[in-house]
Amino acid sequence: MVSTSFSMRAYKSLIALLGFAFVIGLVIIVSQFGAVKIGLDDWASLLHGGGNTQSNSSYILWQLRFPRIIFAIGIGATLGLSGALTQSLFRNPLADPGLLGVSAGAACAVAVAIVIFGDVNIEILSHWRLWTTPIFAFVGAVLVCLTLDRVARWITPGSIAGLLLTGIALNAIAAAFIGLCTYLATDEQLRNFTFWTMGSLSGSNWMLVQAVSVLFMLAWWRLRKLVKVMNVFALGESAAVHVGVEISPIRMEVIVWVALLTGFAVAWCGMIGFVGLIAPNFARAWLGGDQRKVIPVSMILGAILLLLADTFARTIAIPAELPVGIFTALLGAPFFIMLLRTSRRQIA
C-alpha cells in the first residue's frame, strides 16, 4: 500500500513536471507569432527591465501577448477541468458543458445582464464585467446543471441519448433568449456581444490573469481532495452508497464547481466549445478511468488545446482577428462525431 501510494505521487509529480515544461516551451514558441516580430533584443530588454520596458516590441510582449497567452492557458485548464468533472458527474464520455447547455445557460444569463445594464446606462462590459457578469453566468450555469442533474437521475437514468436530447433542448431555450437579447441590444452591445458569443480572448489583461488564477487554484485545492471519492462515484450510486459515500453533498458540490468554472470562463471570454469534451476523452484514452490521473491531465491538455487555437485565431488573418471558438468547433465537431460512432451501442 505504501509503495502504491508513493508510486502514484511520483507519477503525478512526473506528469506535472513534464506538463509544466512542455507548456513553458510552448509559451515561448507561440509568443513569437503575431503582427509584430519579436527579436532577441526584445527578450533581453524584457528580462532586464521587467514590465517597465522601453521598446514597442518588448511592451507588446509583456502587456499584450504574455497576458493573453497565460489567460488562454488558465481558461483552457479551467474548461478541461470543467469537462472532466461533467463527465464524471454524469458518468458519460459525451458530457460537455457546451453540448449539455451549461455554457449556453451562462451565456444567456450574461446576455440578459448586458441588455438590462445597458438600459440603465451602466457599461457592464468595460467596468463591471470582471465580477458582475461571472455572477450572472454562474447563476445561469447552476440552473442548467441542476436541470440536467434532475433529468439524468430521474427522467432518463443512464441514457446517453436522453441526456444529449435534454442538452439540445436547453441549448435551444438559451439560444432563444440570447436571440431576444440580441434583438433588443444597441448597436454597440450587438458588436461586442456577437464577437463574444463565438469566443474571444482579446480582452485579456493581467487583472483577468490574476482572477482566473485565483479561481483555478481554489478549484484545484478543493477538488484534489474529492478525486478518490469521485473514483468510487464513477462506479454508480449504489456502489458509492455501499462503501459509505454520501452522494447528495458530493453531487451538489461538483455541480457548483462545474457551474463556477464554466460560468466564469463564459463571462470572461465568451462561448468556447469542445475543449471540455476533447481534453478529458484524450486523457481517459491515454491513462484509463482513474480520476486522479484524468483530471490533472485534462487540465494540461485543455490548456495546450486552447493556447494553440488562440494562436491560430490571432495570427491566421493578420491584422484581423478571428473568434477562437471557430477553431475549437472545427476540431471538436469531428471529434464528437467520432465519439458518437464509438458510443452508438450505448445510445441505441
Q: Is the pLDDT of residue 76 over 90?
A: yes
CA 130/CA 275 separation, integer angstroms: 22
Contacts of residue 6, defined as CB under 8 A and 6 or more positions apart, other chains included, come to none
- The strand ranges marked E within 4-89 are none
- Which one has a higher pLDDT value, 226 or 141? 141
How much is the pLDDT for 343?
64
The answer to whether 323 and 313 have CB atoms below 8 angstroms apart is: yes
Give per-residue pLDDT as tens, 38-50: 766 666 666 665 5
Burial class of 52 by CB neighbour count within 10 A (0 to 12, 13 to 18, 19+) = exposed
- Which one has a higher pLDDT value, 76 or 121? 76
CA nearest to 262, candidates 106, 36, 89, 93: 106
Give per-residue pLDDT as tens, 249-279: 888 888 888 888 998 888 888 888 889 899 9
Q: Is the pLDDT of residue 4 over 70?
A: no
- CB-based contacts of 226-230 (< 8 A; 24+ apart in sequence): 226/250, 226/253, 226/254, 227/291, 227/292, 227/295, 228/291, 228/292, 230/88, 230/254, 230/291
How far is C-alpha 335 from the geometric centre of its chain's CA atoms?
Answer: 17
CA 337/CA 335 separation, integer angstroms: 5
Report the amino acid identity of residue 104. A
How much is the pLDDT for 160?
65
Q: Is the peptide bond before 319 cis (omega within 30 degrees of 0)?
A: yes
CA 287/CA 214 separation, integer angstroms: 28
The end-to-end CA distance of the chain, in Å, is: 41
Give per-residue pLDDT as tens, 149-170: 787 767 666 566 677 788 888 8
How much is the pLDDT for 124?
47
Report the amino acid identity of residue 46. L
